[in-house]
Chain A
Amino acid sequence: MKAEFTSHISVYFIAVVVLIFTFTLPAPQPVGADVGSYFFPQVLLITILVLNTLSVVRVIYNKVAFSKQVDSFKITKKNIIRVSLLVGLLGAYIILMPIIGYEITTGLFLILMMLMFGIRDYKILILIPIGVVGILYIVFDTLLSIPLP
């Protein structure tokens, strides 16, 4: 239930903030019967606020009517930490790619991520990154002429 209300409050917050932006950002004058640049997003954001309110009412009704329903969101501290670490690793990968070089960064990233997922066999930790980077280079750069980052 807490997770459900957290999500609805977040939706309210995002919709209101973006709606305020639509009234403050500069926009050209509409031509003729045109409604203007921000009319459409404003209508949508107000619709989101209305739908969100209906959803909150539905949640409260279900809580009152079916109070024995189990909260099945499965959001645990352990999961949040693990996923946050992974997102941090992905962010670092993107930042370091143009600095260290794509091939080295990708190799290091693959090793770290496999270690994070419990792979301890050193043969896999060495061969997979070499194989993947090699295949990417041959397939993308050489065969398909798609430049790597």
Chain B
Amino acid sequence: METLISIFDFQLLFMVFAGVFVGIVFGAIPGLSATMAIALFIPITFVMSPVVGISFLLGIYCGGMYGGAIPAILIGTPGTPGAAATLLDGYPMGRTGQGGRALKYATVGSFIGGIFSSIILIFLAPQIASFGLRFGAPEYFALGVFGLSIVASISGENVLKGLIVAAFGIVIATVGMDPVLGSPRFSFGEANLMSGISFIPALIGLFAISQVLVDSEQQNETLANNEIHYRKQRVPLKEMFSKWIEFLRSSVIGTVIGIIPGSGAGISTFLAYNESRRFSKTPEKYGKGHAEGVIATETSNNATTGGALVPLLTLGIPGDSVTAVIFGGLLIHGLTPGPDLFVENIDTVNQMFGTLIIANIFMLILGMFFIKYLVKVASVPKSILIPIIVVFCFVGSFSITNNIFDVWIALIFGVLGYVMVKFKYPLPPLILGMILGPIIEANFRRMMIQADEGILIVFSRPISLVFIVITILTLLYPLVSSIVKNRKRKLNN
């Protein structure tokens, strides 16, 4: 009861609201994203209490996932990867003057999906966390390796490149102090490297500055032209309620897909869209501006938020690239995601659950009543926005340890991220490697010291064995399916 009362603190509510607002704006501007927004604003949360800071980031997460629908519907460009499926019916609605209605459906769908997955998170997370308390070094090692198998899912087309990047991420994470012997490693006598590569500046560089460099390639005319037009329209409540099956089905799909590490909104939205069309009595209307198409995609999109937080909070395994960044936010507040979080910081966790629900309510309010102003903010030309973002990136990087070296880290990782994007190497596996590397190495070496059978202990304990088997299957599946696809393409050619 005390926890419930504490979430109605004015400062907390204000920061959740601000987070949702920021998230919607970042999600609504193509080229920016919830991932970038969270990376950018994590340093600002440093001076806040853990609950307030994390709630702000969760607000950005919820708002950012929804914000991508605005440009998808109004200008035919998805603001976020999760909004790509919303284009299919959202943009035809926007083109035929039904953009206002489409946005109303998107707003309500995002709200229902977000609330549904938050409720599932609240009930499911403690159960998984109590299971995780049985883990020892072999289980944590196997879990870390399993987490790397997510790479197969978030690498896009080229799994091999994703694995290379993840491995480099783990190597980068070895810079600093040896976790067992306590001696410096790869520091080359540089005092700033003794504690390793700062995670948050690397994150800011990789996701924010690299995007700035990519955007800077666009013509100046393109950077200046960002105008979005919007006309307010109503949807009768009766009409909205009549689609309840659509909302429910898509909420379930989004939540389940979100729970599976590495899946994310990119997969859940298209799956929900396909299922919606399959169950529809009028499938021929899909793709031409059908409201059910928008409902399916946007509901499942925000339903992944609660789902993706399940593996992050309970096992310390990010569910998607956004939660990988939120991982950094939790660390900066002294909260280590995993089963122990539910033992040592249960009050904080419960407050976070409460603020997630509130964030979805604020998202509904902003989407229903203030969308006109959000569209105006999102219409700021990139030629003005990008320089401001860079300034914030550098301030944020500096503020972690008040060290200008971290600003250089942000720039170096920004250039690295840009080069990776140009040569088609995926970015999220690098962060995943940096997060999971220390978990894998520390537990591997602990395992080798403690167990007589060495690494073979992983195969003799049931939980770790299951993780290893799933890892192998998860890594092999995309490779095998890619070979089969290439063979089919060769036959067709």
Using a CB–CB distance below 8 Å, which chain A residues touch chain B?
A: 3-4, 6-7, 11, 18, 21, 25, 27-28, 30-38, 40-41, 44-45, 47-48, 51-52, 54-55, 58, 61-62, 65-66, 68, 73-75, 79, 82-83, 86-87, 90-91, 93-94, 97-98, 106, 109-110, 113-114, 116-119, 124, 128, 132, 136, 140, 144-149
In the bound complex, what is the Cα–Cα distance between A124 and B43 (angstroms)?
28
Q: Which residues of A contact B167 (CB under 8 A)?
A: 44-45, 47-48, 51
Q: Which residues of A contact B399 (CB under 8 A)?
A: 140, 146-147
Give which listed residue, A30, A52, A118, A132, contacts B388 with CB less than 8 A.
A132
How near does chain B come to A17, taking the closest CB pair, in angstroms?
12
Asked whether B486 lies within 8 Å of A132 as measured between CB atoms, the reply is: no
B450's nearest neighbour on chain A, judged by CB, is A33
In the bound complex, what is the Cα–Cα distance between A56 and B8 (angstroms)?
56
In the bound complex, what is the Cα–Cα distance between A86 and B167 (angstroms)?
29
B452's nearest neighbour on chain A, judged by CB, is A33
Which of the 9-residue segments B174-182, B271-279, B314-322, B353-361 touches chain A?
B174-182
In the bound complex, what is the Cα–Cα distance between A98 and B404 (angstroms)?
9
Q: Which 3 pairs of residues, A with B, have the shortest CB-CB distance?
A: A118-B220, A117-B383, A113-B387
Q: Which residues of B contact A41 (CB under 8 A)?
A: 171, 174, 185-186
Residue interface bits B385-426, CB-to-A below 8 A is 1, else 0? 011101100110011001010011001001100100011110
Give which listed residue, B402, B411, B415, B493, contacts A66 with CB less than 8 A.
B493
In the bound complex, what is the Cα–Cα distance between A110 and B389 (angstroms)?
10
Would you give 9 A-B contacts (Cβ < 8 Å), ordered by A? A3-B422, A7-B423, A27-B183, A48-B171, A51-B164, A55-B158, A55-B160, A65-B493, A94-B408
Q: Which residues of B contact A110 (CB under 8 A)?
A: 387-388, 391
Q: Which residues of B contact A54 (CB under 8 A)?
A: 160
Asked whether B221 lies within 8 Å of A118 as measured between CB atoms, the reply is: yes
Asked whether A40 lies within 8 Å of B217 as measured between CB atoms, the reply is: no
Asked whether B407 lies within 8 Å of A149 as measured between CB atoms, the reply is: yes
Asked whether B422 lies within 8 Å of A73 as measured between CB atoms, the reply is: yes
Asked whether A113 lies within 8 Å of B386 as measured between CB atoms, the reply is: yes
SS of B interface (majority): helix
How near does chain B come to A47, taking the closest CB pair, in angstroms?
6
Asked whether A128 lies within 8 Å of B411 as measured between CB atoms, the reply is: no
In the bound complex, what is the Cα–Cα distance between A70 and B124 (angstroms)?
47
In the bound complex, what is the Cα–Cα distance between A82 and B163 (angstroms)?
31
Q: B161 interface residue, CB < 8 Å from A?
A: yes
How near does chain B come to A98, taking the closest CB pair, in angstroms?
6
How near does chain A come to B156, taking the closest CB pair, in angstroms?
13
Residue interface bits B212-248, CB-to-A below 8 A is 1, else 0? 1100110011011000000000000000000000000
Q: Which residues of A contact B221 (CB under 8 A)?
A: 118
Q: Which residues of A contact B390 (CB under 8 A)?
A: 90, 109, 113
How near does chain A come to B456, taking the closest CB pair, in angstroms?
13
Q: B441 interface residue, CB < 8 Å from A?
A: yes
Asked whether A11 lies within 8 Å of B164 as measured between CB atoms, the reply is: yes
Q: B97 interface residue, CB < 8 Å from A?
A: no
In the bound complex, what is the Cα–Cα distance between A86 and B422 (angstroms)?
16
Asked whether A106 lies within 8 Å of B391 as measured between CB atoms, the reply is: yes
B382's nearest neighbour on chain A, judged by CB, is A117
Q: Which residues of A contact B223 (CB under 8 A)?
A: 117-118
Asked whether A55 lies within 8 Å of B161 as measured between CB atoms, the reply is: yes
Q: Which residues of A contact B493 (CB under 8 A)?
A: 65-66, 68
How near does chain B come to A57, taking the closest CB pair, in angstroms?
9
Q: Which residues of A contact B158 (CB under 8 A)?
A: 55
Asked whether A28 lies within 8 Å of B181 as measured between CB atoms, the reply is: yes
Q: B116 interface residue, CB < 8 Å from A?
A: no
Asked whether B181 lies within 8 Å of A73 as measured between CB atoms, the reply is: no
Q: Which residues of B contact A18 (CB under 8 A)?
A: 171
A119's nearest neighbour on chain B, judged by CB, is B383
Q: B13 interface residue, CB < 8 Å from A?
A: no
Residue of B158, B164, B224, B402 with most partner-chain A CB within 10 A = B164
Q: Which residues of B contact A86 (CB under 8 A)?
A: 212-213, 216
Q: Which residues of B contact A25 (CB under 8 A)?
A: 185-186
Residue interface bits B189-219, CB-to-A below 8 A is 1, else 0? 0000000000000000000010011001100
